[in-house]
């Protein structure tokens, strides 16, 4: 890609149009050249002058403006990415059926670059069979349609249909751009990812936990969305922003994580267990805070084993051809312990990395060796956790059974 990546930001007529201003800011500040193409309806929410001022480029809605430049053809032809945020039900329908009655829909027809839609609408509109069929059509053609978030809509309504946070939409766009013209190879696939660290309560104020931040699992979720997957993210304790386009299930303990993963894995093509699941939990839970008594040592804390979720998912695949990936956080004899764990757990791939107070946990970067049940090893050098996530998905894709036509 020579020069600044060229991004077309399409804005359709929903109340969430104002959030696209923040997405535009992130795109321009990160070095992208952005042309905003709003629909006429969207100008009821954000005016043309705002888009022109923020992007530094003219913003127009009609194919009849600056006709000598043939904008309805040129804009799409020159783009490296087209992102529509928000994408209303009407816009999804027009895109799915190839309608072209304004500049944005013409641009979508002429674009030969990756296209991302970030839907925003009321829950009933999102769940309507017509919308779901339009989404399926767009995904089948290779577009990335981000799942909307769950939350407050207009008025007093809440539910699925909220535009994801602009920062998270930006992360999806960045991931799609990084892949260039490569086809989104997880389209039509459902992947389940666990992330974060479980907490095992000792009393109402104390727990046994670990240092996992959830960043690697969230990186796996974001990269899977950018590759077109439907993603279920089972998140234990983490303070991270919700990734755009995922179905998020929050859990606390290992037992809760097990239940959520097994439920989501029923129709999953791949399960990636990136969470740091506690091996043990207190044998007894104190209903009141355990008090310190003068002159007395505390009573020993008896522990019991937690369920081995990775081994269970590996041994009892919910569907034929399901690919299971585990993680091994080791502090010594890293590869030897990793190979033993791979054999013991029965998964297809095991991502092995060395951890410690200043290694991996909480960091933005990681390095690992990906061990395979067939004996292969893939070294992933030190770098961003997103880079490791991409290599993991490459390995998963290589092992997925072909989709039926």
- Residues designated as active site: 210
The annotation status of 184 as a binding-site residue, yes or no, is no
8 A C-beta contact, residue 360 and residue 366:
yes
**Cα(253)–Cα(200) distance, rounded to whole angstroms?**
6
The annotation status of 267 as a binding-site residue, yes or no, is no
Alpha helices in 111-189 (DSSP H): 123-127, 129-140, 166-179
The annotation status of 289 as a binding-site residue, yes or no, is yes
The annotation status of 279 as a binding-site residue, yes or no, is yes
The annotation status of 269 as a binding-site residue, yes or no, is no
Instruction: Report residue 168 as tokens.
Output: 């998270």
The annotation status of 116 as a binding-site residue, yes or no, is no
The annotation status of 45 as a binding-site residue, yes or no, is no
**Cα(22)–Cα(28) distance, rounded to whole angstroms?**
10
8 A C-beta contact, residue 215 and residue 240:
yes
**Cα(338)–Cα(369) distance, rounded to whole angstroms?**
9
The annotation status of 308 as a binding-site residue, yes or no, is yes
**Cα(243)–Cα(198) distance, rounded to whole angstroms?**
19
Instruction: Report residue 34 as tokens.
Output: 């952005």
The annotation status of 6 as a binding-site residue, yes or no, is no
Q: Long-range pairs for 42-49 at CB < 8 Å and ≥24 separation?
A: 42/11, 42/12, 42/13, 42/14, 42/17, 44/13, 45/13, 45/14, 45/15, 45/17, 45/18, 46/11, 46/17, 46/18, 46/20, 46/21
Give the pairing type, strands 6-11 and 81-87.
parallel
Known binding site: residues?
279, 289, 307-310, 327, 341, 345
Binding residues for CTP are 279, 289, 307-310, 327, 341, 345
């Amino acid at each position: 890609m020579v020069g600044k990546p060229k991004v077309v930001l399409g804005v359709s007529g929903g109340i969430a149009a104002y959030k696209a201003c923040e997405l535009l800011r992130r795109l321009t500040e990160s070095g992208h050249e952005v042309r905003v193409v709003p629909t006429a309806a969207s100008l009821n929410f954000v005016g043309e002058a705002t888009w022109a001022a923020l992007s530094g480029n003219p913003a127009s809605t009609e194919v009849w403006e600056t006709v000598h430049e043939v904008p309805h053809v040129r804009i799409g032809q020159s783009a490296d990415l087209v992102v529509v945020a928000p994408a209303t039900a009407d816009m999804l329908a027009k895109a799915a059926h190839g309608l072209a009655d304004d500049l944005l829909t013409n641009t979508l027809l002429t674009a030969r670059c990756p296209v991302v839609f970030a839907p925003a609408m009321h829950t009933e509109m999102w769940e309507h069979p017509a919308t779901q069929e339009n989404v399926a059509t767009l995904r089948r053609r290779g577009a990335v349609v981000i799942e909307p978030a769950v939350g407050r809509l207009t008025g007093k309504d809440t539910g699925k249909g909220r535009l994801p946070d602009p920062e998270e939409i930006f992360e999806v766009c960045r991931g799609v751009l990084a892949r260039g013209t490569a086809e989104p190879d997880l389209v039509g696939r459902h992947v389940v990812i666990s992330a974060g660290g479980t907490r095992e309560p000792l009393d109402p104020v104390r727990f046994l936990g670990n240092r996992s931040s959830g960043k690697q699992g969230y990186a796996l979720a974001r990269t899977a969305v950018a590759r077109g997957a439907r993603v279920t993210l089972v998140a234990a304790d983490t303070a991270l922003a919700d990734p755009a386009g995922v179905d998020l299930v929050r859990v606390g303990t290992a037992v809760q994580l097990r239940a959520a993963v097994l439920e989501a894995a029923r129709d999953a093509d791949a399960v990636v267990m990136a969470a740091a699941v506690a091996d043990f939990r207190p044998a007894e839970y104190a209903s009141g805070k355990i008090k310190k008594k003068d002159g007395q040592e505390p009573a020993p804390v008896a522990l019991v084993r937690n369920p081995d979720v990775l081994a269970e998912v590996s041994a009892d695949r919910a569907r034929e051809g399901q690919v299971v990936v585990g993680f091994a956080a080791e502090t010594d004899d890293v590869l030897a312990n990793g190979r033993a764990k791979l054999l013991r757990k029965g998964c297809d791939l095991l991502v092995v990395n060395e951890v410690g107070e200043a290694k991996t946990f909480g960091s933005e970067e990681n390095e690992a060796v990906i061990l395979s049940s067939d004996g292969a090893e893939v070294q992933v050098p030190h770098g961003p956790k997103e880079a490791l996530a991409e290599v993991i998905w490459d390995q998963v894709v290589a092992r997925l059974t072909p989709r039926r036509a």
